[in-house]
Amino acid sequence: MAHHAVTFDVSANPVTVQTGTLLTEAAQKAGVEVTQPCGGQGRCGRCLVRVTEGNIRRRSTLRLSAEDVAEGFALACQAVVEGDATVSVPPQEKVERRLSTDRTVAQVTVPLGYNYLTDQTVRRVTLDVSAPTMDNQTDDWSRLQNALSRTLTQDGETKGAGLAPGSSLLSLQVSLPLLRRIGRTLRDGEWQVTATLDLADRRDGRPSARLIDLQPGQVTEETPLWGVAIDIGTTTVTVWLVDLISGEVRAQAAEYNGQISRGEDVISRIIYASKGHGDDEMRDLVVESINKLIQRASKRAKVDQADIVKATIAGNSTMMHLLLGIPAESIRLMPFVTAVNSIPVFRAAELGLDLHPEATVDCLPGVASYVGADISAGVLSAGVDDSDQTSLFLDIGTNGETVLGSKEWLVSCACSAGPAFEGAGVLYGMRATRGAIEEVWINGQTYEPNYRVIGEVKAKGFCGSGLISLLAELFLNGILDKAGNFNHLLPTKRIRRGEHGLEYVVVWADDSDRGEDLVITHVDVDNLLRAKAAIYAGFTVMADSVGFPLEAVEQVLIGGAFGKYINIEKAVEIGLLPDMPWDRFYFLGNTSVLGAYRALLVQADRDRIQAIAGRMTYIELSADNSFYDSFTSALFLPHTDLRKFPSVVKELEQIERQRDPAIADQGQGG
Amino acid sequence: MAHHAVTFDVSANPVTVQTGTLLTEAAQKAGVEVTQPCGGQGRCGRCLVRVTEGNIRRRSTLRLSAEDVAEGFALACQAVVEGDATVSVPPQEKVERRLSTDRTVAQVTVPLGYNYLTDQTVRRVTLDVSAPTMDNQTDDWSRLQNALSRTLTQDGETKGAGLAPGSSLLSLQVSLPLLRRIGRTLRDGEWQVTATLDLADRRDGRPSARLIDLQPGQVTEETPLWGVAIDIGTTTVTVWLVDLISGEVRAQAAEYNGQISRGEDVISRIIYASKGHGDDEMRDLVVESINKLIQRASKRAKVDQADIVKATIAGNSTMMHLLLGIPAESIRLMPFVTAVNSIPVFRAAELGLDLHPEATVDCLPGVASYVGADISAGVLSAGVDDSDQTSLFLDIGTNGETVLGSKEWLVSCACSAGPAFEGAGVLYGMRATRGAIEEVWINGQTYEPNYRVIGEVKAKGFCGSGLISLLAELFLNGILDKAGNFNHLLPTKRIRRGEHGLEYVVVWADDSDRGEDLVITHVDVDNLLRAKAAIYAGFTVMADSVGFPLEAVEQVLIGGAFGKYINIEKAVEIGLLPDMPWDRFYFLGNTSVLGAYRALLVQADRDRIQAIAGRMTYIELSADNSFYDSFTSALFLPHTDLRKFPSVVKELEQIERQRDPAIADQGQGG
């Protein structure tokens, strides 16, 4: 057999290998590390290399576009050496970014062009108040108001907050506790004070300010002004601590919603809250969760919580009602209406939030009982409402809400998915934090798994993206059949009967942070199937009901807190997402908190959320008989109707062929 | 001597008397009761009769006008029988009304033309809210708002509360506790509810309503809607319970301000409040006083306190600060400014008032540290601000506030009078309630007193008008000299040395409700002199300072809670009021609570109080060196400068003459 010299750009010395050697083997010989999470099956695409000179044969071009091939890209595990070659091994992160089906969740960026002076409703101004004299005995409060009107209007462009020069403040609202402090503060500051105001209440362009705080003296320009964007998910509560002047997120914190111990879904929470003092208990639990996160984020950013002067809250309608202590029973009962969708602004002290007691708390508006503020905020942050393109927006959380539409129209629906994709309701499920397995690949011959852990530490459990990945791998490799049953006949110790029935061991105790085997059980699989079936049935029935063909959707925008990397292919393989070209999918992360963050900063975005809530039509799925049928059909992997998943069918065939390498070589040789 | 027949219209049989007999003697003989509180000195005018036929000689025409004489009126104690005569004895109340110097305090009447639908900001409306269906899943809160906008605008004239037909409600404010109840109430009422609203917050004619209450079902037209007008005096707190629909006052209650135990004047209260938890204590004390009165008035009118939905509060600036818990120190210290004059509207629950927790509490606006909301409200109810005539308005209370002006201009000042005229700071002083002596006459020969008690029961003490009357009588009869010293050489047991120095016994223990002698002491006299001197000095210095001659004042309007009958003559005799024609004086009672009552009912009046507070110029007397001089000069009875009190000089001369009846007969014979 002929020998060929293969040179890797990351290694000084070329290696000599026989014809037919795989590039992964050559790399190993050269001491070059090439990642192969899928065990060299050519499925994960992580062993992407670029052949800059010479010749190789690609056994498979799965994951490679025509352009990729033209540029010399190849999968090392599927590249057969047939002559001398020079190979470039890109850094792993570049590979990740290049792989079209692995979408890193959008990074949080300050809204484009954010300007505290024009966008923010909370304003801090230093005021030089005229001191009283025997000739001018005007009261303190009038002096303060006069100084404020003067300061706010003296420079309409830069200090106006929408106040035209010369226009005056309509009124200055103040709470009694704050009013009690005015006189002392004015004198402590020797008539120079810094006022923190909320100018959100604008009527006919003349703002009515609310005084949030008054401090003696002036503060430096650099002193930040703090806000928090809060998302109350049924399963997960998220808090972002935001510098309102720069617009930057300074700390993020997320944790399970304390209410989870009283029921996993909104229905059981409502029932719990409606009994005895359940409502108080529910309120206390979520307030405690939020306060814990505010404290954690504040500590991390070294911020005094009492300096946080504004909060926006997104969350589904049930979460919002429970937070406010408003009875939520009507959400659960026919005809399923909320007590309130557009919630008035309250002060932090009224809600028990550990912020400045006068902090503005703006609970964002929802649409309906099962399409809450998390969705109106999500639609904003996903940009569905101002796009020419028709988008399908999916918020994959405990409640699977879906929005379909564009700048012209918006419809929405919801279904109960359960908390599986947030890592709850699954034995070793966890949130997407350090120690969570976020991606899994299983070797089709050995059934041995390969996985990636967030933070590159020992694994503790699986986050949502890890579970999607795991479920897909178990299915594709025949460990699970299409009905979700484990094949206990396969030659591997990893499939075994455990406490909860059949299970698959992903991590042996030795490698686990918990010191015990990390498994996925039959019950877990059932929960995941039900979750994905509900979501899939939701958007398909909704699209049908408005007569919009799903394949005409131009972009699929996905929100949810699964993890940082979500593999579209795998989500399609399990039948969670529709089978469409991968470039139409965008993973946006927690769109709800993102929307709350935008509303926290930019008043125009806050107004847009209100407009979204106003114009979005809600479709009640429970009124649609076809929903249950669709749900049942979707309980399979990927679906009972395989015609809906042509790419998965093709892939299954390809795997079948790969089981016999001879067939594979013939079929894919090029 | 000749005998004459005298016939009294109230007696069947004529009596025969000798020439020279007084009509009072003839009346006694006929068994006809003729009141003679002054002991027949011809000073009190209470023995007024009308000689319809025949001849009598008038020894004195004091208290009689030329018209009175022409019509046959005479004072029975000064009328000498000189021929047959027929005499009509008018009922006592007619006499009281006729006597030009005794002015009954103005009766409370519903503001002319009061119309709940156009004047009142609190509105109760029954709403038929559309019930939700599976086809219309709008939230409860939006349904309620829609029904409200529809109902309020459907008939702009009668239901609009200033809402033009077709115009919409700007916003509906609601508290969190109330928002929590909306859903339940709508369902309990089967989608018919009665909303109580406050529409006071009007901007550009479009009201922004605040929801005060929501009840299931509808209420009958007759169900009253309750409000309270409150006056917090330094010494006395007054509460009026008002039917907001008819405008009628249903119950009145007044009591000493509980803070009185912590200091009699505002300065000592401010000092007390500024130490330790004094502010909380002061707040608690006055809130307790108010709540006690609200409870008392509610009980009397059989009203549930929770049905009282609106309160207006008048009071001086210190009282207002202490009620709200706002530090009042700056009121006491140069340059004497308040923390706040125009106070935002709060809810009853915020202030701790035992009303509906959401009740609107409107603390009326004040002018300055020592001219508070009691004066702006008083100016309104006295009508100073819309009169063509120049008025001198005096609020005779613990703080002697004075306003001078007309619809063109208004100036004000204040001085510390002390609580003597409210019956506090005087040994047997009391409020003008049952058992209070409200008028005293002393016989110039015997030094024996005659008095009238409120409620015609045994006497308990003296109210303000009683003290003024007593002081004048003591002075006119030489029991007190012009410096206010008792003449212990007079032949009466009633002047004696007691625990507090010299004193005069008005009521012996047997006749007193207390079972002890009711006296006025030297200390009491000093306090009364200081009070009257402060008030007199106040308005004279103010008039001087604006260059307006006091004698050009067209009406003197007097507010204060002395009692029901105030004798102008006596108030002039002691030098409390300026010596002017009696027909220029008007006693208006508690003008502060009257103003609060007007503001409670009529929004235009509330707006007028704001305008008054805005345009009234405050003159700081402490900045005027002449005040102390004026005060010192006024510490005498009636004044050091007798030229200022010509009518008193004339009266003293007349009394001197009466001591010798021969002179009197010659001088006054007709």
Residues A118-131 have pLDDT tens digits of 999 999 999 999 99
**Rounded distance, CA A490 to CA A252, Å?**
44
Per-residue pLDDT of B83-110, as tens digits, reads 999 999 988 777 766 665 556 666 789 9
CATH code: domain of residue A128: 3.10.20.880
pLDDT of residue A443: 87
Q: Note whether residue A357 is domain-resident.
A: yes
Q: Where is mean pLDDT largest: A476-480, A665-669, B413-417?
A: A476-480
A122-128 and A585-589 beta bridge pairing: unpaired
SS3 B238: strand
Regarding whether A358 and A235 lie in a shared domain, the answer is yes
Confidence of residue A1 (pLDDT cuts 50, 70, 90): low
- Which of 355-414 (B) contact A at CB < 8 A? 368-369
pLDDT of residue A156: 46
- B116 close contact with A: CB closer than 8 A: no
CB contact under 8 A, B342 and A142: yes
Task: Check whether A167 has a pLDDT greater than 60.
Answer: no
Confidence of residue B206 (pLDDT cuts 50, 70, 90): low
pLDDT of residue B6: 93
Q: Which amino acid is at A611?
A: A
Give the Å distances, CA to CA, from B197 to A326, B125, B359.
21, 8, 10
- A342 close contact with B: CB closer than 8 A: yes
A36: tokens are 């192969």
What interface predicted TM-score (ipTM) does this complex get? Answer: 0.87
**Rounded distance, CA B102 to CA B504, Å?**
25
In total, chain B counts a number of residues equal to 670
Instruction: State the total domains in chain B.
Output: 3
Closest in A134, A184, A204 to B327, CB measured? A184
Q: Enumerate residues 6+ apart whose C-beta is below 8 A from A150.
A: none
Domain end point (choices B69, B99, B129): B99
Q: Note whether residue A111 is domain-resident.
A: no
Per-residue pLDDT of B340-357, as tens digits, reads 999 999 999 999 999 999
pLDDT of residue A628: 92
Closest in B133, B180, B327 to A335, CB measured? B133
Strand residue runs (E) in B340-383: 346-347, 360-363
pLDDT of residue B61: 75
Chain B nearest-CA distance from A272, in A, is: 17
Confidence of residue B436 (pLDDT cuts 50, 70, 90): very high
Percent of chain A with pLDDT over 70: 93
- B1 close contact with A: CB closer than 8 A: no
Closest in A133, A137, A170 to B203, CB measured? A170
Regarding whether B200 and B125 lie in a shared domain, the answer is yes
Q: Which residues of A touch B324 (CB under 8 A)?
A: 176, 179-180
Quote the mean pLDDT of chain A: 90
Residue B247 sits in which domain range?
226-363
Chain B nearest-CA distance from A544, in A, is: 19
Regarding whether A582 and A511 lie in a shared domain, the answer is no
Let me know: does A518 contact A563? Beta carbons within 8 Å: no
Q: Which residues of A touch B369 (CB under 8 A)?
A: 137
CB contact under 8 A, A133 and B335: yes
**Rounded distance, CA A579 to CA A651, Å?**
12
Task: Check whether A640 has a pLDDT greater than 80.
Answer: yes
Domain end point (choices A528, A545, A567): A528
Let me know: does A492 contact A447? Beta carbons within 8 Å: yes
Percent of chain B with pLDDT over 90: 70
Chain B nearest-CA distance from A175, in A, is: 8
Task: Check whether A37 has a pLDDT greater than 90.
Answer: no
Let me know: does B192 contact B126? Beta carbons within 8 Å: yes
- B139 close contact with A: CB closer than 8 A: yes
The mean-pLDDT minimum among A79-93, A315-329, A478-492, B373-387 falls in: A79-93
- B336 close contact with A: CB closer than 8 A: yes
Closest in A137, A325, A329 to B337, CB measured? A137
Confidence of residue A669 (pLDDT cuts 50, 70, 90): very low
Regarding whether B212 and B289 lie in a shared domain, the answer is no
The mean-pLDDT minimum among B201-215, B247-261, B376-390 falls in: B201-215
Nearest CA in chain A to B346: A176
Regarding whether A440 and A576 lie in a shared domain, the answer is no
Specify the DSSP class assigned to residue B235.
S
Nearest CA in chain A to B145: A340
Report the side by side order of strands in the sheet with B399-405: B585-589, B555-559, B391-395, B399-405, B410-416, B617-618
Tokens 């975005």 found at: A605
**Rounded distance, CA A352 to CA B287, Å?**
27
CB contact under 8 A, A327 and B184: yes
Task: Check whether A661 has a pLDDT greater than 60.
Answer: no
Q: Note whether residue A658 is domain-resident.
A: no
Domain end point (choices B301, B334, B363): B363
Task: Check whether A164 has a pLDDT greater than 90.
Answer: no
Let me know: does A395 contact A378? Beta carbons within 8 Å: yes
pLDDT of residue A169: 66
The mean-pLDDT minimum among A435-444, A497-506, B180-189 falls in: A435-444
Let me know: does A474 contact A442? Beta carbons within 8 Å: yes
Chain B nearest-CA distance from A264, in A, is: 24
pTM of this prediction exceeds 0.90? no
Regarding whether A319 and A230 lie in a shared domain, the answer is yes
DSSP readout, A569-637? HHHHHTTSS----GGGEEEEE-HHHHHHHHHHH-HHHHHHHHHHHHHPEE--GGG-THHHHHHHHTTSS
Nearest by Cα to A544 from A409, A370, A408, A413: A413
Nearest CA in chain B to A131: B335
Chain B nearest-CA distance from A259, in A, is: 20
SS3 B231: strand
Q: Note whether residue A53 is domain-resident.
A: yes
Q: Which residues of A touch B173 (CB under 8 A)?
A: 344
pLDDT of residue B139: 95
Q: Note whether residue A378 is domain-resident.
A: no
Q: Which residues of A touch B615 (CB under 8 A)?
A: none
Per-residue pLDDT of B34-57, as tens digits, reads 877 777 777 778 888 999 998 889
Q: How many CB pairs under 8 A join A and B?
A: 132
Q: Note whether residue B488 is domain-resident.
A: no
pLDDT of residue B13: 84
Q: Which residues of B touch A620 (CB under 8 A)?
A: 134, 137
CB contact under 8 A, B179 and A330: no
Q: Which of B141, B358, B413 is the best substitution to test chain A (most A C-beta atoms within 10 A)? A: B141
**Rounded distance, CA A251 to CA B153, Å?**
49
Regarding whether A204 and A129 lie in a shared domain, the answer is yes
A549: tokens are 């063909």
Q: Which residues of B touch A343 (CB under 8 A)?
A: 179
Percent of chain A with pLDDT over 90: 69
CB contact under 8 A, B184 and A134: no
- Which of 596-635 (A) contact B at CB < 8 A? 618, 620, 623
Regarding whether B77 and B130 lie in a shared domain, the answer is no
Regarding whether A83 and A35 lie in a shared domain, the answer is yes
Give the Å distances, CA to CA, from B208 to A253, A341, B145, B356, B594.
39, 19, 12, 20, 28
Nearest CA in chain B to A133: B335
Regarding whether B351 and B236 lie in a shared domain, the answer is yes
In total, chain A counts a number of residues equal to 670
Q: Note whether residue A403 is domain-resident.
A: yes
pLDDT of residue A608: 97
Closest in A180, A335, A350 to B326, CB measured? A180
CATH code: domain of residue B37: 3.10.20.30
Q: Please, what is the angle between helix B464-476 and helix B522-545, to 10°?
A: 100
Regarding whether B39 and B143 lie in a shared domain, the answer is no
CATH code: domain of residue A236: 3.30.420.480
Tokens 């009238």 found at: B452
Regarding whether A350 and A231 lie in a shared domain, the answer is yes
SS3 A7: strand
B410-416 and B585-589 beta bridge pairing: unpaired
Residues B583-596: b if buried by 16+ CB within 10 A, e if exposed: ebbbbbbbbbbbbb
Mean pLDDT of B233-262: 95
Confidence of residue A160 (pLDDT cuts 50, 70, 90): very low
The mean-pLDDT minimum among A408-422, B174-188, B191-205, B480-494 falls in: B191-205
Per-residue pLDDT of A89-107, as tens digits, reads 988 767 766 665 556 666 7
Chain A nearest-CA distance from B545, in A, is: 15
Q: Note whether residue A368 is domain-resident.
A: no
- Which of 293-332 (A) contact B at CB < 8 A? 324-327, 329-330
CB contact under 8 A, B618 and A325: no
Task: Check whether B299 has a pLDDT greater than 80.
Answer: yes
The mean-pLDDT minimum among A41-50, B124-133, B419-428 falls in: A41-50
Q: Which residues of B touch A327 (CB under 8 A)?
A: 180, 183-184
Let me know: does B298 contact B305? Beta carbons within 8 Å: yes
> Comparing A509 with A33, which gets the higher pLDDT?
A509
DSSP readout, A126-186? EEEPPPPBTTB---HHHHHHHHHHHHHHTTHHHH-TTPPTT---S-EE--HHHHHHHHHHH
Specify the DSSP class assigned to residue B133.
B
CB contact under 8 A, A344 and B183: no
Q: Please, what is the angle between helix A278-300 and helix A317-324, to 10°?
A: 100
Nearest by Cα to A338 from A289, A307, A375, A312: A375
Nearest CA in chain B to A322: B180
- A140 close contact with B: CB closer than 8 A: yes
CB contact under 8 A, A183 and B329: yes
Task: Check whether B161 has a pLDDT greater than 70.
Answer: no
**Rounded distance, CA B311 to CA B348, Å?**
8
Quote the mean pLDDT of chain B: 90
**Rounded distance, CA A169 to CA A160, Å?**
11
Specify the DSSP class assigned to residue A446.
T
CB contact under 8 A, A139 and B623: no
Please give the angle made by the CA atoms of A270, A275 and A279, to the nearest 5 degrees. 60
Q: Which residues of A touch B179 (CB under 8 A)?
A: 324, 326, 339-340, 343-344
3-state per-residue secondary structure call for B602-656 = CHHHHHHHHHHHHHCEECCHHHCCHHHHHHHHCCCCCCCCHHHCHHHHHHHHHHH
Give the count of beta carbons closer than 10 Å to the beta carbon of residue A312.
Answer: 29
